Amino acid sequence: MKNLQGKVAFITGAASGIGLGIAKACGRAGMKVVIADIRQKAIDEALPFFKEKGWPVMGVQLDVTDREAYARAADEVEKTFGNIHVLVNNAGVEAPMGPLWKNTFKDYDFIMGVSFTGIINGILTILPRILAHGEEGHVVSTASQSGLYVVPGAALYCAIKAGTVGLMETLACDLKGTNVGASAFCPGPVVGNLSATSKEVRPPELQNDNQETVAPPPPPPTNMEKNAPMFDFSKLLMTAEEAGERVVRGIRRGDLYILTHPEFRESMQEKMEAILRAYPDQPLKPEFRQAFSFLTQNPIYKTQTQVPGPDWN
């Protein structure tokens, strides 16, 4: 989607962190920005930045788990701004840290409801509207680098994020032939407030469950010398604004994956090689790939081209 000027971006979880960074990048690109978030106070705090810049913006209080409210929010946006072109499913909550068998069903339902079903709700509510008006559009869902390369003790978080990647890859296939694209956004560590906001939005009946949570875990100090001065890991976090710019670039380029940290390239290679080693070392049936071409060949992967380095502006 090359031309973003004057187009409408509906971004969930946009009152804080990465979502706000995406909203600012969309505003900078000349888009009309919808800040959809469950926390009204945070929306009120986010809006002045856009108003001071003179960028078109509207705040919508929305719980992404509420399907009827989602449809009402979409109606309200269309009434104010007209057609929606870009949907960014970014709202999420953190998941308990520790082995999955210590999670509770209630906790699972809450986290899955916001971070995964919330994305489905967004797609089912907004995408048919984008397809119906026929103008160019794009859908991005925020997964995580942890959806590609797992973090021990974060099974639920990693599963939701891996599910989001699979969802967006398949959506990109299914949208082929339309003028709407789809991307899985898989950021590494970025400045955000997931821990604090997750506690704030947690239903009262879950407040005392699973207080140990994860969002990005601190790096293990394995190879650090004893008594070495503490390294300030926060210096390595990407800013939400930069992450937002990456998303806008990914929308413009039509990237299947929007990634942030090339430091994970080696990790991904290690994982891909593990998968390849796990295929039995045995002769291949020559006709298999052709007979099952719908399973074995997917042109969507070849659509991802090399993303340029820092001088991309």
Ligand X SMILES: NC(=O)c1ccc[n+]([C@@H]2O[C@H](COP(=O)([O-])OP(=O)(O)OC[C@H]3O[C@@H](n4cnc5c(N)ncnc54)[C@H](O)[C@@H]3O)[C@@H](O)[C@H]2O)c1
Selected binder of ligand X within 37, 169, 245, 255 (CB under 6 A): 37
Tell whether residue 183 is a contact of ligand X (CB under 6 A): no
User: In angstroms, rounded to a whole number, what is the distance separating the alpha carbons of residues 123 and 190?
Assistant: 25
Nearest-approach distance from CB 307 to ligand X, in angstroms: 18
Selected binder of ligand X within 1, 34, 64, 112 (CB under 6 A): 64
Using CA atoms, how far residue 214 sits from 94, 152, 157, 183, 217, in Å, is: 6, 11, 8, 24, 6
Judged by CB under 6 A, the number of residues near ligand X is 32
Nearest-approach distance from CB 14 to ligand X, in angstroms: 7
Q: Identify which of residues 233 and 288 has a Cβ nearer to ligand X in the complex.
A: 233
Stretch of 50-58, 85-93, 123-131, 299-307 lying at the interface with ligand X (CB under 6 A) = 85-93
Please check whether residue 63 is in contact with residue 39, taking contact to mean a CB–CB distance below 8 angstroms: no
Q: Identify which of residues 159 and 303 has a Cβ nearer to ligand X in the complex.
A: 159
Nearest-approach distance from CB 90 to ligand X, in angstroms: 5
User: In angstroms, rounded to a whole number, what is the distance separating the alpha carbons of residues 38 and 15?
Assistant: 9
Please check whether residue 168 is in contact with residue 88, taking contact to mean a CB–CB distance below 8 angstroms: no
Phi and psi at residue 259, in whole multiples of 5°?
-115, 160
Q: Which of residues 40-59 bind ligand X (CB under 6 A)?
A: 42
Selected binder of ligand X within 29, 114, 162, 175 (CB under 6 A): 114
Nearest-approach distance from CB 236 to ligand X, in angstroms: 11
Stretch of 50-58, 62-70, 125-133, 263-271 lying at the interface with ligand X (CB under 6 A) = 62-70
Tell whether residue 92 is a contact of ligand X (CB under 6 A): yes
Q: Identify which of residues 63 and 169 has a Cβ nearer to ligand X in the complex.
A: 63
Tell whether residue 187 is a contact of ligand X (CB under 6 A): yes
Nearest-approach distance from CB 299 to ligand X, in angstroms: 28
Using CA atoms, how far residue 113 sits from 14, 98, 131, 170, 200, in Å, is: 18, 20, 25, 20, 16
Tell whether residue 182 is a contact of ligand X (CB under 6 A): no
Give the sign of the dihedral formed by CA 230, CA 231, CA 233, CA 235.
Answer: positive
How deeply is 97 buried, as exposed, middle or buried, from its count of CB atoms within 10 A (0-12, 13-18, 19+)? buried
Stretch of 76-84, 86-94, 100-108, 251-259 lying at the interface with ligand X (CB under 6 A) = 86-94
Q: Identify which of residues 131 and 151 has a Cβ nearer to ligand X in the complex.
A: 151
Tell whether residue 13 is a contact of ligand X (CB under 6 A): yes
Q: Identify which of residues 195 and 303 has a Cβ nearer to ligand X in the complex.
A: 195
Nearest-approach distance from CB 83 to ligand X, in angstroms: 22
**Active site positions, annotated:** 157
User: In angstroms, rounded to a whole number, what is the distance separating the alpha carbons of residues 139 and 250?
Assistant: 11
Please check whether residue 65 is in contact with residue 42, taking contact to mean a CB–CB distance below 8 angstroms: no
> Which residues sit at the interface with ligand X, rule CB under 6 A?
12-13, 15-19, 37-39, 42, 62-65, 90-93, 114, 118, 142, 144, 187, 189-190, 192-194, 197, 201, 216
